Amino acid sequence: MKKTFFTALLLSLGGVVFSQSSDELQLKAIYQSALTKGQGYQWLDYLSNQIGHRLSGSDNAEKAVQYTKAQLETLGLDRVFLQEVMVPKWVRGAKETAYIKDGKNKIEVPICALGGSIATPKKGLLAPVIEVHSIKELETLGTALKGKIVFYNRPMEAEYIETFNAYGHCVDQRSSGAREAAKYGAVGTIVRSMNLRLDDFPHTGNQSYGDLPQAQWIPTAAISTNGAELLSKKLKENPQLQFYFKQSCEQMADVLSYNVVGELKGSETPENIMVVGGHLDSWDLADGSHDDGAGVVQSMEALRILKQLNYKPKNTIRVVLFMNEENGNRGGKKYAELAQTNKENHVFALESDSGGFSPRGFSFECNDEEFAKFSSWKGLFEPYLIHSFVKGHGGTDIGPLSSKHIVKAGLKPDSQRYFDYHHAANDTFDAINKRELELGAATMTSLLYLMDQKGL
């Protein structure tokens, strides 16, 4: 493999072999460090199994802030610090219950409140159901929706190769389905979980009432894909059936929380800052090992590897563990705001927030010229089976960052399994493969290294 790679380099690059060869050696050292000396898996074990879910504003989220700060302090970085940020606090309350009421039959189905939803009345909500497959369909139904529970049942489409595309074409049902149905007098919404497979896990996730007056807010919950299939089938048999659900979630006052930042000072242009990060908060149904414990520990690992290899970056490199990506992105916004206040010049930001699966490549937010340049590095990544360089979204946390000129990138892991776990009770540590996680960390570190050396 190495030999082939080197031959390819010689063929494609002619005289520039010396510098490429040193890059090749550096990437080899990075991957080797990740695979043989990695700490990320142990960090994630602690975050997942000793701390647990890290919903913004929860005690666990604060424990995660303190734990990751303390771990970063062991790495010998130049600076580790916290950034204060006020975050929303939404609490789920007692476990939700739901059933299909078909005549005298009650068939229980697994649901969970969507983040930001209001509670049902204390005794729960019982109403007839109308199944729809899009928000647009509400227009046609109009007044027929009054007093009804709207059941959004458009599945994620299997034929998309990248599952995030299937998600993108479905998630409006979850994020704004309640707001839109409420406008027609619906009393609640039930949304098919954003999950490509059929199983019994309801998947939570954020939703927003937007500028709808609070008096019009209606409770909304996700139903497992098996539950959705069953409800749809039962509705065909008996369009008069009713659905019952009960949830006691509540939006509390905002609370103080933190972004966690660790820094390696640049040796040549320390005023230029490069960020690598993920988000420390998670949903509350599981450990959030993939979303985004993986991104957190991979970002920490990037700095551990650079330190262990005694790499002196030209630019300042920061790991940023953002708070509150899931339901507000307050950490991302705060980080960007402080960067502007402090007149910091961010030149690059790299995020991992697509799960800890085998890395396949990156998506770059950059211009065509830059993309051509980054694409010329692909040969260096081939021995590590990283092939997919595309233009696209970098990440939600780094989204608000702006500078005179900044390149953003997102790690692209294999996406096939992501929505099996996303925001569900099975997003736990046992769904993480150590090597896949480590290869992702090495891939990120390699891009940071190349950006630092020749990206700017």
Question: Which residues fall within 8 angstroms of residue 328, CB to CB, at 6 or more apart?
Answer: 56, 87, 88
Residue placing its CB nearer to its own copies in the complex, 361 or 399: 361
Are the beta carbons of 391 and 364 closer than 8 angstroms? yes
21 or 433, CB closer to its own copies? 433
Nearer to its own copies, 169 or 435 (CB): 435
Among 383, 400, 453, 454, binds its own copies (CB under 8 A): 383
- Sorted by sequence, the CB contacts under 8 Å of residue 108 that are 6+ apart come out as 97, 98, 99
Residue from 416, 453, 454, 456 that binds its own copies (CB under 8 A)? 416
Handedness of CA 438, 440, 445, 446 (dihedral sign): positive
Task: Say which residue the tokens 């995030």 belong to.
Answer: 164
Q: For residues 269 and 433, which CB has a smaller minimum distance to its own copies in the complex?
A: 433
The residue from 21, 255, 414, 453 that contacts its own copies (CB under 8 A) is 414
Q: Per DSSP, which regions of 92-227 are E strands?
A: 97-102, 105-108, 111-113, 125-132, 149-152, 188-192, 220-223
- Is 233 one of the binding residues for its own copies (CB under 8 A)? no
> Minimum distance between the CB of residue 374 and its own copies, rounded to whole angstroms?
16
Taking the least distance from each CB to its own copies, the nearer of 279 and 423 is 423
Among 18, 122, 159, 237, binds its own copies (CB under 8 A): 159
1 binds its own copies (CB under 8 A): yes
Vertex 371 angle, CA 367 and 373, to 5°: 120
Count CB-CB contacts under 10 A for residue 94: 10
CA distances from 449 to 356, 370, 403 (A): 20, 16, 21
Choices 111-119, 162-170, 279-287, 313-321; region in contact with its own copies by CB under 8 A: 162-170
The helix/strand/coil state of 22 is: helix
Q: x/- site string to its own copies, residues 390 to 409, per CB under 8 A? A: x-------------------
Rounded Cα distance between 280 and 54, Å, is 7
Contacts of 76 (CB under 8 A, 6+ apart): 307
CA distances to 67, 96, 268, 298 from 36, in Å: 23, 44, 30, 14
Identify the residue among 106, 133, 312, 387 touching its own copies (CB under 8 A): 387
Q: Is 197 in the site for its own copies (CB under 8 A)?
A: yes
Rule CB under 8 A: is residue 31 a binding residue for its own copies? Answer: yes
Nearer to its own copies, 242 or 445 (CB): 445
- Stretch binding its own copies (CB under 8 A), from 155-163, 229-237, 306-314, 401-409: 155-163
Q: Is 163 in the site for its own copies (CB under 8 A)?
A: yes
Q: Does 158 bind its own copies (CB under 8 A)?
A: yes
Read off the DSSP letter of residue 266: -
Of 28-36, 123-131, 206-214, 346-354: span binding its own copies (CB under 8 A): 28-36
Contacts of 284 (CB under 8 A, 6+ apart): 53, 55, 58, 92, 204
Number of residues that bind its own copies (CB under 8 A): 31
Walk across the sheet containing 315-322 and list its strands: 79-91, 250-264, 315-322, 269-279, 345-351, 407-413, 359-365, 388-391
Stretch that binds its own copies, among 73-81, 140-148, 289-297, 413-421 (CB under 8 A): 413-421
Share in percent of the chain as helix, strand, coil (round to 5): 40, 25, 35
Among 7, 32, 267, 376, binds its own copies (CB under 8 A): 32
Q: Which is catalytic among the residues 96, 180, 263, 325?
A: 325
Separation CA 267–CA 62 (nearest Å):
33
| Mask for 111-150, x = binds its own copies (CB under 8 A) | ----------------------------------------
The contact mask relative to its own copies for 417-456 (x = CB under 8 A, - = no) is x--x------------xxxx--x-----------------
- CB–CB of 319/276 below 8 Å? yes
Q: Using CB atoms within 10 Å of the CB of residue 196, give its burial: 0 to 12 exposed, 13 to 18 middle, 19+ buried.
A: buried
Q: Is 35 in the site for its own copies (CB under 8 A)?
A: yes
CB of 9 to its own copies, least distance (A): 16
Buried-state track 375-405, b at ≥16 Cβ within 10 A, e below 16: eebebbbebbebeebeeebbbbbbbbbebee
Residue 406 CA, distance from chain mean position? 21
- Closest approach of its own copies to the CB of residue 2, in Å: 10
Query: Which residue from 4, 12, 216, 238 is in contact with its own copies, where contact means CB under 8 A?
Result: 4
Is 369 among the catalytic positions?
Answer: no
Binding flag, residue 360, its own copies (CB under 8 A): yes
Q: Which of 58, 42, 46 is nearest to 323 (CA)?
A: 58
Binding to its own copies in span 289-318, by CB under 8 A: none
Catalytic annotation, residues:
325
Which residues of this chain interact with its own copies, rule CB under 8 A? 1, 4, 31-32, 35-36, 158-159, 161-163, 165, 196-197, 358, 360, 383-385, 387-388, 390, 414, 416-417, 420, 433-436, 439
